[in-house]
Structure formats: structure tokens, C-alpha cells
Structure 1
Amino acid sequence: MNLSAEARAGALVVYVGEERLDAAIAIRFKDRMREITQQPSRRVILDMSRIDFLDSSGLGAVVAVMKSLAPTRSLELAGLTPNVAKVFRLTRMDSVFPIHETIEAATSEGVRHAG
């Protein structure tokens, strides 16, 4: 599972270096995110700009990470590709997660919801 993280503008930014977030890696994704988010930060921003495919297991893994952080920390998403954005829109998860166009927008602007 290729994830890396950095502290940036008061947030923990997690970069996903995978093209797919699906059943084959969903459990490893959740486990690795649990390790990475041990670092203190009220905001966790997940950079999904490299992910071209997200299935229901991948979506479930992202939701599980959000639930593991709540209620004291937020999980925000950035850089959704068109296919991934469509999954969030069709499942109405775009109303659950703060979604930013880019990491730069997420760290410099206020929170806004896509959709």
C-alpha cells in the first residue's frame, strides 16, 4: 500500500500512490491509514488525485477511516478524478465528505463541498 504523509498548513496530508482503491487493497489501506493518522492533526486531507478506480470496498474503506477519526478529527478529500468523483456523487457521499479540487485548495481555502 503506497501511502505517504506530510504536515502542511496545520493539516495532515496523506497522498495515495495507487491507481486503484478496490477490494484487493481496501484492508491494507485502512490499516496503513490507521498507522499514519496516529500523527496528531485536527484535519486529515486525503489526496486521491492518482486514483482512477474506486469500488464499493474502496469507498467503504474511506468511510471506515472517516469513522475512526470522528468526532474530534475530520477527513477531507482532494483531487478526485472524474471516475472517483462520480462514485461519490452517485452514492451521495459527496454530501458527507468535504471535497476540495486540489491539496493546495484544501490547505489555503475554507472547506467547501463539491456537488
Structure 2
Amino acid sequence: MNLSTDTGDGALIVRVNEERIDAAVAIQFKDRMREMTGGGAGPVILDLSRVMFIDSSGLGAIVAVMKFLAPARRLELAALTPNVGKVFHLTRMDSVFPIHASAPEPRRE
């Protein structure tokens, strides 16, 4: 699972550099997210701008990451593509996660 991180607006930004989060990669996604987000502070913003497809396993993996981070950190979502946005709307998960139209710009040192 190809994920990368930046910081911006006081948050850790995790970019999903894959087109799919589905049953084939859900466990790998959860493991990588735990590695990348463990031990920090502040919100985590998951940039889904490159994700074109998500299934129930992928959705479950994102919820599992939210539970792993809570209560110390909040998981927020950003830049949902239309298909992914529909999944979150139809499952009412859009009422569970803060969703931003775009991810914050990374901080430049």
C-alpha cells in the first residue's frame, strides 16, 4: 500500500497513492496507517484524491483507523472523488467523519 505523509495546518496529512482501497489491500492499509500515525498528536487528514474506488472492506479499514486513533487523535478525510464520496454518503459515514473539499497544502521548510 503506497502512502506518503506531509504536515500542514497543524495536522499529519496521509496521502493514499493508490486508485483503490478494497478487500485486496484493506489489511495492508490499516497496518501502514498504524505505523505512520502511531505516537503523534493532532488530527490526521487522509487525502483520498487519487482513490477512485472503495468497497466495504476499504470503508471498514478507514473506520478501524479512526477507532485506533481515538480518542487522542481525530481522523479527517479530504478530497473525496465523486465515486468515493457517494460511498460515504450512501453509508452515512459522511456524518461520522469531518470531510474537507481539499487537503491542506504541505508545510514548506
Given the two structures, how large is their TM-score scaled by the length of structure 2?
0.93
Q: Measure the CA separation in 2 of the matches of 1:17 and 1:61.
A: 16
Aligned partner of residue 46 in structure 2, secondary structure: strand
Q: Measure the CA separation in 1 of the matches of 2:83 and 2:9.
A: 28
Question: Runs of 5+ in structure 1 lacking a partner?
Answer: 106-115
CA contact (8 A) 1:13 1:44 kept: yes
Shift of 1:41: 2.4
* Residue aligning to 2:87: 87
Would you identify which runs of 4 or more consecutive aligned residues in structure 1 move more than 4 Å? none
Q: Measure the CA separation in 2 of the matches of 1:103 and 1:41.
A: 18
Equivalent residue letter for 1:86 = K
2:15 is the alignment partner of 1:38? no
Percent identical residues: 68
Question: Runs of 5+ in structure 2 lacking a partner?
Answer: none
* Residue aligning to 1:73: 73
Per-residue deviation, residues 24-59 of structure 1 (Å, max 9, x unmatched): 000000000000002512100000000000000000
Given the two structures, how large is their TM-score scaled by the length of structure 1?
0.88
* Residue aligning to 2:26: 26
Equivalent residues, number: 106
Equivalent residue letter for 2:20 = R
Q: How big is the alpha-carbon RMSD for the aligned residues of Structure 1 and Structure 2?
A: 1.5
Shift of 1:8: 1.5
Q: Aligned ranges for residues 96-107 of structure 1 at < 5 Å? A: 96-104=96-104
